Amino acid sequence: MIQKSPYKFFLLTFLLIALDQGVKLAVHHYMAPGFAGQVKVAGDWLKLHYVLNPGMAFGMQLGHEYGKLLLSIFRLFAMVGIGYYLVNLAHRGAPNGLLWAMAMILAGAVGNVIDSTFYGVFLNNAPYGSPTPWFHGQVIDMIFVDVWEGFIPEWVPVWGGQYYSTPIFNVADSCIFVGVCIILFFQRRFFGEPPIEDSLLPVTGPDATEASVLPASELLDEKPAPKPAKEDSETPIDDSQQPTPESVWPEEPKRSE
């Protein structure tokens, strides 16, 4: 496979990060949080709804004083790992669809890392009582697909008796979701068997450094092997065994007078 440059895929990552941050900052400065600032985009099922997410996806949190800090550090390592994996895939000549999907996932990871790292300082949205505003920023979510909302029945374990609505997410979450779906739907094409032309090529070849060279003295001592004697195609015929005219055409018997 031919190696590919990862720069065009990183360009898509940069554009998606810029879009994600632009939408988040616009929502923060021009929308009121909660239902008061909710904006309908497409009927009653697609809305813009400004909320702050203090933890992981769907608002889940780590029940520890430094849980948010650990989550932010984990996101940083995940961001670096995804970027390295994207470069490695490009150098190995991976399919373009897989590289575009990884670029989208990287954009989503970086977008949420920016929120967690800097928003607690520059937007002052760190949760109350945080040890430090750094790495404790809350992620801004705004895309609300209002399919269903209401109170869950009491008999439902864990979530019973609580108010629930479909998750509210952002552009970065959408990039991660779409990128993962592309990889899942086309995984056989992305990670299937290599083409026949590539599979027929030898995996390893001879190494020139391991070639052995005979000394000149051994080459001089070697004598060419004797050639086998050629057999004559024509075998000499003995004259005594050659047929005579008499043997071929016998004489007629003489008539008695």
- pLDDT one-digit tens code per residue, 147-172: 887 888 888 887 778 877 788 999 99
Six-digit token string for 77: 């390592």
- Which of 141, 198, 232, 238 is catalytic? The answer is 141
Residue 238: active-site member? no
DSSP single-letter state for residue 35? G
Indicate the residue type of 224. Answer: P
Asked whether the predicted pLDDT for residue 203 surpasses 50, the reply is no
Six-digit token string for 29: 């400065």
Q: Where do the DSSP E strands lie in the chain?
A: 39-42, 46-53, 139-145, 149-151, 163-165, 168-169
Please tell me the distance from the alpha carbon of residue 92 to that of residue 105, in angstroms, as a whole number.
19
Lowest-confidence pick of 46-50, 131-135, 178-182, 186-190: 131-135
**22, 14 Cβ separation under 8 angstroms:** no
Q: For residue 166, what pLDDT is reported?
A: 84
Residue 239: active-site member? no
* Residue listed under structure tokens 């702050």: 52
3-class DSSP state of 27: helix
pTM, entire model: 0.69
List the beta bridge partners of residue 145.
Answer: 46
Asked whether the predicted pLDDT for residue 2 surpasses 50, the reply is yes
- Which of 173, 207, 221, 239 is catalytic? The answer is 173
